[in-house]
Amino acid sequence: MAQHDAPGPDATPTAEARLSRLEAQMTTLAEAVRALAHGMEAVPSQDTPPEETARGARLAHEILLSQGL
């Protein structure tokens, strides 16, 4: 009989695996929020250029997509 160390696709992930995944998702989300905030940053007396806002939104979207979120 062969022994399998890796759980099958139907196996329930361990608490440690779920926590690691959650930490990775939170890191990705923080990066996306940082990109959005950077795109909206401006001196209070000046308007934020629409290109900067769009670039920040696009970058945030790409970050989320790259991690499957």
In the DSSP assignment, the letter for residue 66 is H
Neighbours of 48 (CB within 10 A): 13
CA dihedral over 68, 28, 8, 10, signed as positive or negative? negative
The span from the CA of 60 to the CA of 32, in Å, is 4
> Do 28 and 67 touch, CB atoms closer than 8 A?
yes
Higher pLDDT: 17 or 47? It is 17
> Do 3 and 35 touch, CB atoms closer than 8 A?
no
Average pLDDT, the chain: 82
The confidence score (pLDDT) of residue 31 equals 92
Higher pLDDT: 40 or 7? It is 40
Record the pTM.
0.66
Question: Where residue 69 falls among pLDDT bands split at 50, 70, 90?
Answer: confident
> Residue ranges of the domains in the chain?
16-66
